[in-house]
Amino acid sequence: MNKLGIIGAGVMGTDLAHITAEAGFHIRIFDINHKKAVIALETIALRLEEYIKKERISADEKDKILGNISIVENLSDIADSDIFLEAANEDLSVKKEIFKNLDTISGGGSVLASITSSISITEIAAATTRPESVIGLHFLNPARVMKLVEIVPGFCTTRETIEMAKSFLKKLKKDFIEAKDYPGFYLNRILYPMINEAAFLLYEGGAKPEVIDKAMRKGLNIPMGPLEIADMVGLDVILNIGEEMFRGYADFKYRPCPLLRKYVASGYLGKKTGRGFYIY
């Protein structure tokens, strides 16, 4: 299993292409916006140049990694992939449409993996005729740095598919846990309420962002505060997670903070746009 098809060339898709190519897999990247796929490859190339300057890799290693990556213009061009990694927007309808198309073009023995951070794998798998091959792999952002991956089987996912996913993650030198297919899985079920409550504290004028984050960093001895994490992940992603958890649990405690909604509506999405809870 060495052929990977990555669908979605955003921040996560770019990082996935990087780390899987580094591990020796042959990668093809597809994005409905072809320019994003081109930018993803350019981003990886620039990053590797920085690694050479820091003597983390050699020029030959850079060429080998880049040689493992190509970009394609049609989804059908990745049809013979052994593993499909869907890293599109955190939107159930978008993901179901992608998996419906992957079901049409993919081979029977391939694994269809969603990199969703909160959406039900069972619901995504329902768009296919082989839900036993669908699995969730929740990589944390930035994927090239964070060690943990949540493996999320759907209701019909077979043990064989789970073991194939584990073998894949071991080749990436990632640690992993198996999580139940609950909205938000394990990590975001804990992390999202903390971020959302920090946003409410800011919204209510309780404290400035730097004070809130300092309280959490110093008080709990964690490397980043909740608002810093939100800016790194992307406020649009955080909002989507909140909306999905609110929908899935129908519990008022998961309602997204109005300030979070306003920031996203204003285009203040965090580091990727230069402004979120902080200005960059």
188 is catalytic: yes
- Distances in Å between the Cα of 98 and the Cα atoms of 144, 180, 233 are 24, 23, 23
Listed in sequence order, the residues at least 6 apart from 92 whose beta carbon sits closer than 8 Å to its beta carbon are 119, 120, 123, 124, 244
Token pair 């013979």 is at which residue?
80
Sheet holding 148-153, edge to edge: 69-71, 26-30, 3-7, 83-86, 111-114, 134-139, 148-153, 175-178
Paired tokens of 1: 């299993």
Rounded Cα gap, residues 183 and 202, in angstroms: 25
What angle in degrees, to the nearest 10, is found between the helix axes of 226-233 and 209-220? Answer: 110
Q: Which of 22, 86, 150, 228 is catalytic?
A: 150
Paired tokens of 67: 């040689």
150 is catalytic: yes
Q: Which of 106, 188, 196, 240 is catalytic?
A: 188
Rounded Cα gap, residues 100 and 127, in angstroms: 5
221 is catalytic: no
Q: Which residues are catalytic?
A: 117, 138, 150, 188
